[in-house]
Structure 1
Amino acid sequence: MGKIILYHGTPDRVVVPKYGGGDEKHDYGKGFYLTESIELAKEWAVCRPNEINGWVHKYELETDGLKILDFQQKDVLSWLAELMKHRDAADSKRYRMLAAKFIEKYGVDTNEYDVIRGWRANASYFYIAKEFVRDNIDIDILEELLSLGGLGIQYCIKSEKAYANLTEKSDDLRIVPYAEFNDRYNQRDVMARKNMRDLVDSDANKVTKVFSTLF
């Protein structure tokens, strides 16, 4: 892959990526999150309802020599299992018990990877996840649901080696107007949820191969 350009959307003008930083409860755990799409980065920079302008930082990542886990090349269940390691889709005892079994069966050991690439779990994802663990979604429509969600693809910088290969292009720092891009973010979410609800309620959702049958 060589060098790739990535963007980080944030409320912060000054950002210092640090190995070991980040929140364990983010999609892929601790790490520094970026996207190849500057437009998505702009939306993510102002997705909080605080009316504060955001910033997009531009980075160059040298991928040669890095081991990258791409969840788009894995089964969608592997991606869901990874998210379940870090983010709860429900708070019931049933979910906690089944999630542990699901992770054991479909999870991927990510410790050996420098970078993780995969969908971003925004609010639309939680609609999918909650309905899935309630046995309301057939596995056969899962990938189509994700495509309707407009989740976007993100990169998570995990290893010390990957952080060392990441360079900010400070001259390309951009301010993001809150009103314009927060509205875009919200419109995308509203449309995504509508499209997903329509598919879940359609005849394509057979509700046969559901969450509790996958063990």
Structure 2
Amino acid sequence: MILYHGSPEKIVTPTFGLGEERHDYGKGFYLTADLELAKEWAVCRPETESGYVHTFDFDTKDLFIFDYEKESVFCWLSELMKHREAADSKRYMMLAPKFIEKFGKDTSSADVIKGWRANASYFYIAKAFVRDEVDVDILEELMQLGGLGIQWCIKSEKAYKHLKKIGELIPVDYHEFNAKYNERDSNARIKMKELIDSDRNMVEKVFSTLV
């Protein structure tokens, strides 16, 4: 399959063991099958003024792929909580480990993790959720409003060997695709706020009641 990696860097070399632990699924090399999203992600940082998309051929044969699209939204949230904090309150610090223990799954043996990307609009929802402002019954719909996009995180040394760079480097126009990224995030937040403020948000089954 063909996957894309958006980056402000012109030279990118996928290397096992590199990456930031505080990314969505921890250390790894992140890609997407959506070229347009890769272009947005290449220029989503405010301090960058240029971006590039790198194209890879990825052979998934004989790889263990942990797919969060097949899991509950709670399972996905628990994985993100392992690596990224949704809040810095004492209450969250006490409840998050219990939430992870109850809903999380062990992904340590996965060669690849496939799942949604947690962008800025996700954190708007995550913070509201851990403050008990979002009912469980609307949580999944809220996440879908964000247009998060699916990303593939290459985790194991074996999986890195299945990844081959192909094609020409694709330059990304910063002004065009940074604007698209910001517009997507802004529209998502507006729709999310409307749903949170609506009568459908009963605020009965909430974060703290789950643990």
Query: Following the alignment from structure 1 to structure 2, what is the Cα–Cα distance between the partners of residues 82 and 149?
Result: 18
- 2:198 is aligned with what amino acid? S
Give the total of aligned pairs: 211
2:183 aligns to what?
187
2:103 counterpart of 1:106: yes
Query: Following the alignment from structure 1 to structure 2, what is the Cα–Cα distance between the partners of residues 51 and 211?
Result: 36
User: TM-score of the superposition, structure 2-length normalised?
Assistant: 0.98
Answer whether contact 2:42 2:172 (CA < 8 A) is retained: yes
1:211 aligns to what?
207
RMSD, matched Cα:
0.7
- 1:108 is aligned with what amino acid? K
SS in 2 for 1:126: helix
Per the TM alignment, residue 50 of structure 1 is displaced from its structure 2 partner at its CA by 2.8
User: TM-score of the superposition, structure 1-length normalised?
Assistant: 0.97
Query: Following the alignment from structure 1 to structure 2, what is the Cα–Cα distance between the partners of residues 90 and 38?
Result: 32
Query: Following the alignment from structure 1 to structure 2, what is the Cα–Cα distance between the partners of residues 51 and 95?
Result: 32
Equivalent position to 1:174, from 139, 159, 170: 170
Answer whether contact 1:51 1:179 (CA < 8 A) is retained: no
Query: Following the alignment from structure 1 to structure 2, what is the Cα–Cα distance between the partners of residues 41 and 20?
Result: 22
Per the TM alignment, residue 172 of structure 1 is displaced from its structure 2 partner at its CA by 2.6
SS in 1 for 2:143: helix
Query: Following the alignment from structure 1 to structure 2, what is the Cα–Cα distance between the partners of residues 114 and 172?
Result: 27
Query: Following the alignment from structure 2 to structure 1, what is the Cα–Cα distance between the partners of residues 168 and 124?
Result: 35
- Could you report, residue by residue, the CA deviation over 1:128-167 in whole angstroms, capped at 9, with x for unpaired residues? 1000000000111111011101111101000001000001
Q: How does 1:76-95 map to 2 (within 5 A)?
A: 76-95=73-92
Per the TM alignment, residue 51 of structure 1 is displaced from its structure 2 partner at its CA by 5.0
Equivalent position to 1:44, from 33, 41, 45: 41
Equivalent position to 2:24, from 24, 27, 32: 27
- Could you report, residue by residue, the CA deviation over 1:84-140 in whole angstroms, capped at 9, with x for unpaired residues? 000000001100010010001111101111000111000001001000000000111
